[in-house]
Amino acid sequence: MESGNDNELVRNKQVILKDYVSGFPKESDMYVSSNGTMKLKVPEGSNGIVVKNLYLSCDPYMRSRMIKNKAITGNYYIDSFKPGSKGDLVWGRTGWEEYSLITDFQNMFKIQHTEVPMSYYTGILGMPGLTAYAGFFELCSPKKGENVFISTASGAVGQLVGQFAKLLGCYVVGSAGSKEKVDLLKNKFNFNEAFNYKEEPDLDAALKRYFPEGIDIYFENVGAKMLDAVLLNMKAHGRIAACGMISQHNLDKPEGVHNLMHLIYKQIRIEGFFVFDYDHLYPKFLELVLPQIAEGKIVYVEDTAEGLESGPAALIRLFSGLNIGKQVVFITQE
Amino acid sequence: MESGNDNELVRNKQVILKDYVSGFPKESDMYVSSNGTMKLKVPEGSNGIVVKNLYLSCDPYMRSRMIKNKAITGNYYIDSFKPGSKGDLVWGRTGWEEYSLITDFQNMFKIQHTEVPMSYYTGILGMPGLTAYAGFFELCSPKKGENVFISTASGAVGQLVGQFAKLLGCYVVGSAGSKEKVDLLKNKFNFNEAFNYKEEPDLDAALKRYFPEGIDIYFENVGAKMLDAVLLNMKAHGRIAACGMISQHNLDKPEGVHNLMHLIYKQIRIEGFFVFDYDHLYPKFLELVLPQIAEGKIVYVEDTAEGLESGPAALIRLFSGLNIGKQVVFITQE
Considering only CB atoms, which residues of chain A are within 8 Å of chain B? 64, 70-75, 223, 227, 235-237, 242-245, 248, 253-274, 277
Which structural domain, as residue segments, surrounds residue A148?
A: 128-276
ipTM over 0.95: no
Q: How far apart are CA A115 and CA A295, in angstroms?
A: 13
Q: Chain A residues with CB inside 8 Å of B248's CB? A: 261
Mark yes or no for CB contact A64/B265 under 8 Å: yes
What's the pLDDT score for residue B23?
84
Span of A27-41, A59-73, A170-184, B293-307 with lowest mean pLDDT:
A59-73
Identify whether residues A325 and A250 lie together within a single domain: no
Lowest-pLDDT range of A325-334, B74-83, B168-177: B74-83
For A256, the closest of B73, B257, B270 (CB atoms) is: B257
Number of structural domains chain B divides into: 2
Are residues A106 and A143 both part of a single domain? no
Q: Are residues A165 and A260 in the same domain?
A: yes
Cα dihedral across residues A228, A229, A234, A239: positive or negative = negative
User: Is residue A283 one of the residues assigned to a domain?
Assistant: no
Is B39 inside a domain boundary?
yes
Q: What is the pLDDT of residues B28-50, one digit of tens each?
A: 999 999 988 988 888 888 888 88
DSSP A69: T
Which residues on neighbouring strands pair with residue B271, listed in sequence order?
A269, B241
- Cβ contact, residue pair B271, A263, below 8 Å: yes
Q: Which residue of B has its CA nearest to A271?
A: B269
A160 and A96 in a common domain: no
Where does the pLDDT of residue B93 fall: very low under 50, low under 70, confident under 90, or very high at 90 and above? confident
Residue at B198 is within a domain: yes
Closest CA to B97 of B319, B314, B332, B333: B332
- Assess whether A207 and A220 both reside in one domain: yes
Average pLDDT value for residue range A169-197: 98
Residue B290 lies in a domain: no
Q: Which residues lie closer than 8 Å to A119 by C-beta, 6 or more apart?
A: A55, A302, A304, A328, A330
- pLDDT number for residue B76: 38
Banded model confidence at residue A202, pLDDT cuts 50, 70, 90:
very high
Length of chain B as a residue count: 334
Could you tell me if B159 and B223 lie in one domain? yes
The verdict on a CB contact (< 8 Å) between A270 and B270 is: yes
Residues A254, A268, single domain; the answer is yes
pLDDT digits (tens, 9 = 90+) for A271-300: 999 998 998 999 999 999 999 999 999 999
pLDDT of res. B163: 98
Answer yes or no: do B269 and A272 touch at CB < 8 A. yes
Query: Is A143 in the same domain as A261?
Result: yes
In this complex, do A272 and B266 lie within 8 Å of one another by their Cβ atoms? yes
| In-domain check, residue B282 | no
Band (pLDDT 50/70/90 cuts) for residue B107 is confident
Picking from A18-27, A124-133, B163-172, B304-313, which range would have the lowest pLDDT averaged per residue? A18-27
pLDDT tens track for A136-165? 999 999 999 999 999 999 999 999 999 999
Angle between helix axes B203-210 and B224-233 (nearest 10 degrees) is 40
SS3 B206: helix
The enclosing domain of A225 has a CATH number of 3.40.50.720
Any domain includes A287:
no
Identify all chain A residues contacting B274, using CB atoms and an 8 Å cutoff.
Answer: 264, 267
Could you say which of A261, A267, A271 has the minimum Cβ distance to residue B254? A261
Helix and strand counts by DSSP (H, E) for chain B: 8, 17
**What CATH number has the domain bearing residue A317?**
3.90.180.10
Cβ neighbours of B144 (radius 10 Å) = 8
pLDDT for residue B223 is more than 80:
yes
Beta carbons of A149 and A216 less than 8 angstroms apart: no
Same-domain status, B75 and B151:
no
Residues B133 and B272 occupy one common structural domain: yes
Note the pLDDT of residue B73: 41
Percent of residues in chain A assigned helix, strand, coil, to nearest 5: 35, 25, 45
Is residue A218 assigned to a domain?
yes
Is A326 within a domain? yes
Picking from B223, B260, B265, the nearest residue to A72 by CB comes out as B265
**Element at B50 (helix H, strand E):** strand B49-52
Query: How far apart are alpha carbons B57 and B95 in whole angstroms?
Result: 10
